[in-house]
Chains A and B, each alone.
Chain A
Amino acid sequence: MINRNPQLDENGMLRHLLTTEGLPASILLHILDTAESFVGVTERDVKKIPLLRGKSIFNLFFEPSTRTRTTFEIAAKRLSADVINLNIAVSAQSKGEALLDTVNNLSAMNADMFIVRHAQSGAAHLIAKHVRSDIRVINAGDGSHAHPTQALLDMFTIRRYKRDFRNLRVAIIGDILHSRVARSQIHALTTLGVPELRVIAPKTLLPKMVERLGVHVYHDMTKGLKDIDVLMMLRLQNERMKGANLPSPEEYFKYYGLTPEKLSLARPDAIVMHPGPMNRGVEIDSAVADGKQSVILPQVTFGIAVRMAVMSILAGN
């Protein structure tokens, strides 16, 4: 029962990126600093640099995704890597091939890196544990467990607008229970020294003992948003809007949707974030999503630089 953090090598260097939990601040900051150097690249006319030339990166998406897969693809191409997209949700898995068989087959095609999305928590850990030792794995979202690159691009965005993590009040709002994004954000924010981190949600959307992760729990937006510097909204999945978790999207919007009125309870210079895709009129009002405090589009842009940084660090640059 050796429980060494599987994403670090014996020297404590990043070997895979599976979760933000347990990563030291130095590694998180190194990724953010590296990403800063790539922001310039993405703004140039010629957007390619040869850091990953000749490397094969496989996008292994066992769950449908357009946005995340595309940003990984763009990031890899800007680093001059060869990118192979596999939409496994409709190929091997539907033929009944086991997850690790798929991975082994692709490894035999000389893959250097796998970017994995899977509906089951722990899928990326499983793959990382069983791949050849020279292959790197990036978790692009596993079940309700982790989505570390999303959290890192959020950290990058916060640092851009707020500079220092150590004097911020941050609130994560919405479906914490099912959210891999929320979990990865919480670990990253606490590691980077955010002194006050809140989660705001009805009790049906909060996991048990969530306060053990280092957050203060609020059920009321009016109280929870007071003095907040950063609002991190979460996406509410369609299937959770009606049923045993919530009665209706309308009631959810009324009590937990971010409207200009509720936003006015936070600090006047507060920023509003969302990992996308948004449900306008459910978790967020269009006036806020498109308003001047919104940094939702910059998040997307920074996402490419952050993913470039993660790939180049894992590739040994």
Chain B
Amino acid sequence: MKIHIKNGRVIDPKHGIDAVQDIFIAKGKIVAIGEAPSEFHASRVIDAQSLIICPGLVDLSVRLREPGLEYKATLESEMGAAVAGGVTSFACPPDTDPPLDEPGLVEMLKHRAKSLNQAHVYPIGALTQGLKGERLTEMAELNDAGCVVFGQPDGLLPNLRVLMQAMRYASTFGFSVWLRPQEISLTSDGVAHDGEVATRLGLPTVPVCAETIALSNIILLAKETGVRVHLCRVSSAEGLSMIRAAKQQGLLMTCDVTINHLHLSDMDIGFFDSNCHMMPPLRASSDRDALRNGLLDGTIDAICSDHAPVDEDAKLLPFGQSEIGTTGVELLLPLTFKWGIEMRLPLLKVLARITSDPAEILGIDAGHLSIGKAADICIFDPESYWKVMPSAILSQGKNTPFLGMELPGKIKYTLVNGHIVYEH
């Protein structure tokens, strides 16, 4: 199929392009940007007048809930949700049931995902067997099966000796290790940030030092082992300044923040809104402001949705018993865009945080528009506001604190390998 996308404003952060240009696609690849190649006869013309054309988005954390947790969501529903959000490549965490710790499981997931012909799925391999933090996984084998990076899920860092050895082993093969800094022994039954809101609501807390102590361990072990570390979901101002200092010392390290932590604080818990039950917890508004600025100055490299669909019943419980997680892959663009508008930033800079920057962290050839490369493209209307309603979300999980809010940026088309996989 040959596609001609015309009249749109092309924004490609990697190449620094922001201009009205036409894009020509054939055989799944971009064949020209600007002038049409000779003898190009489009079978489909997309008029992108007043729309923005950017690389397909790259999301560093999308849970498909397969294998094992299909009652929460299925591969079909969540792959559909991803492309409805303009996301064409994403990493999925290993915290499935069973965890992604065996090549067979990873191959199965890759195969199932591929057969749907939608976004590209990059499984994060489990760093330890069963994610138990005791024994290393067969990382090289898992890499052959399709795992590009290795990690532990939320709040389950192995003990320091195992962690150090796992990092060493990963660095042997040049794999990067993804970790969310949280010291378990300081977390126990905590569900909210240790601040005034939790004090008022009588909720058990997760103090900031649970993040900073783990961060300090990870940073020291990264220096010791030389492994490339990606820090997932930083949540506090204090944690952020430690990362800033480590980066200034020249440590090769990246980090991300979620769309939730970029816009919300513990105040949003209100009267026990279980949609705000997430890990790390929403912290103080001063932390949120620091994260927004950290993203601007490059201490934070990327924004992710941390998509975690939860079935409705699991949220209809008292706050502390409700299941952790928010749906978000369809909100990645609108909430990133909103941050850009509020910070008065050029779109080139804003979109880099959900295209070229995360692609680089994941180590994949995506997140840019290049001739001869796969036509993974997102086309959205920057002027269109839409209301976040359960009916407007394709994901099986409707759990988000943003329900009822009007957000800017409506996805119009998503293309993967030159196929239109979503059209609104």
A interface residues (Cβ-Cβ under 8 A, vs B): 1-3, 6, 21, 98-100, 118, 120-123, 125-126, 129-130, 142-146, 180, 183, 207-210, 212-213
Contacts and interface: CB of A to CB of B under 8 A. Distances in A.
Contact of A209 (B195, B201, B318, B321): B195
Contact of B201 (A3, A100, A145): A145
A119 to B, nearest CB: 9
Given A1-B404, A3-B271, A125-B271, A208 B317 contact: no
B199 A210 contact: yes
B138 interface: no
A144 B192 CA distance: 13
Contacts of A125: 271-272
B198 interface: yes
Given A99-B318, A121-B318, A208 B272 contact: no
A183 B313 contact: no
A127 to B, nearest CB: 9
Given A1-B268, A1-B270, A126-B272, A143 B316 contact: no
Contact of B200 (A2, A99, A123, A213): A213
Nearest to B194: A208
Interface residues of B, number: 27
B362 to A, nearest CB: 33
- State the majority secondary structure of interface residues on B: loop
Contacts of A21: 200
B108 interface: no
A122 B317 CA distance: 9
Contacts of A126: 272, 316-318
A143 B268 contact: no
A100 B270 contact: no
Contact of A146 (B202, B270, B316, B404): B202
A143 B320 contact: yes
B203 interface: yes
B199 A120 contact: no
Contact of B199 (A1, A2, A123, A213): A213
A208 B320 contact: no
Given A122-B318, A143-B203, A208-B199, 15 more contacts: A3-B270, A99-B318, A118-B318, A120-B317, A121-B201, A121-B272, A122-B272, A126-B272, A126-B318, A142-B318, A144-B203, A145-B202, A208-B194, A208-B195, A213-B200
A231 B85 CA distance: 58
Contacts of A120: 317-321
B389 interface: no
Interface in B303-342: 313, 316-321
A183 B200 CA distance: 7
A122 B320 contact: yes
Contacts of B313: 98
B201 A122 contact: yes
Most buried by B among A3, A121, A213: A121
B370 interface: no
B287 to A, nearest CB: 14
B318 A207 contact: no
Contacts of A1: 268, 270, 273, 401, 404-405
B293 interface: no
Given A98-B313, A208-B195, A123 B268 contact: no
Nearest to B405: A1
Nearest to A176: B199
Contacts of A145: 201-203
Contacts of A208: 194-196, 198-199, 205, 207
B266 to A, nearest CB: 11
27 contacts: A1-B273, A1-B405, A3-B271, A6-B271, A98-B317, A99-B317, A120-B317, A120-B321, A122-B271, A122-B272, A122-B318, A125-B271, A126-B318, A129-B271, A142-B202, A143-B202, A143-B320, A144-B202, A183-B202, A207-B198, A208-B199, A208-B205, A208-B207, A209-B195, A209-B196, A210-B199, A213-B199
A139 to B, nearest CB: 12
A94 B321 CA distance: 15
A213 B199 CA distance: 9
A91 B75 CA distance: 38
Given A6-B271, A121-B272, A125-B272, A207 B320 contact: no
A207 B199 contact: yes
A121 B202 contact: yes
B113 to A, nearest CB: 33
Interface string B390-410: 000000000001001100000
Interface string B192-220: 00111011111111010000000000000
A183 B196 CA distance: 12
Nearest to A186: B200
A121 B203 contact: yes
Contacts of A98: 313, 316-317
A123 B318 contact: yes
A78 B405 CA distance: 48
A116 to B, nearest CB: 11
A118 B321 CA distance: 12
Contacts of B270: 1, 3
Nearest to A18: B271
B201 A212 contact: no
B211 to A, nearest CB: 15
A169 B268 CA distance: 34
A100 B199 CA distance: 26
Most buried by B among A100, A122, A183: A122
A213 B198 CA distance: 12
